[in-house]
Structure 1
Amino acid sequence: LYVSLKMENARIIGDLVPHVYGSEPIIGSWEPARALAMERELASMWELSFVVPPDHETLDFKFLLKPKDAETPCIIEEGPTRLLTGGMLEGDVRLANFRLNGDDELLEFRVFNKADIVSPLDLAASWRVYKENFQPSKVRGIPDISINEAPTHATEGWIWF
């Protein structure tokens, strides 16, 4: 299953980045330092996507907010843990609530979840394309990574100045 977790808040404060952490090693084993950072999808939307087997064990997790350039302090979501089974969140859909500034301010995020079935063939094809286009390189002597783009027919044979 291809699982996508999203959080939305139009007024995120400072350099706080939403993360996911929980019961399994893939999501940090309840260690905030190993939590997975969500990526900004839009100005107010954050996303974390991952692939799990359709019959995966239940993942217990919570969201947390961490400063972009520091490990601490982090702010853990209030309320009970969330459960992900079969790619879907269990229980009532609820906001992710965070208390800021010594409980004076409440920051709320809307939470979205989507799961799509991915065939093993599609997953293998995606991995093969990724591996074929993955090339290590160096910039000023520092290892870097680049992904080659597939050539387009419209520009083949042209020399650009």
Structure 2
Amino acid sequence: MPGPRAFALALALSVAPLAAPAVQPDEILTDPGLEARARAITAELRCVVCQAESIDDSNAEIARDLRLLVRERLTEGDSDAEVLAFVTDRYGEFVLFRPPFTWRNAVLWLSGPLFLLLGAGLAFAYVRRRSTAPAPPRPPLTPEERARLEALTNE
């Protein structure tokens, strides 16, 4: 029977392909500096099909096209900011995992902290109201309880 080491090795080998980026060997640039820049940019761009993955991790055809586009723009001499601007102009701010704070998306940026503050305020008010509320009145003693109490106090 295989031991825990064999099980861990089998698990690691079965999960490793799932974590590998989707970048194909024919997409990789020969210049390591440009390739590093391309990887940094593609990690910042969201796949428009998958929506939860970067184009670096997505196997969708549009993600491959975008990876090739990023590498093409870099080889033409564009800066990282120019490449991001080009893709954003074409697909909108949705493709950015970290869109810039602008007046158009201020509601999205501020709604999280506002709801957190609102929830904290409501929780504080609830706890404060419960701590200052009077204790509920005790029900009166029944005749049997009263007789037992008198018997105990007379002893």
TM-score grouping bracket, smaller chain normalisation = under 0.3
Q: Which has the higher contact order (CA 8 A, sep 6+)?
A: 1
User: Normalising by the residue count of structure 1, what TM-score does the alignment of the two structures yield?
Assistant: 0.21
Q: Which has the higher strand share?
A: 1
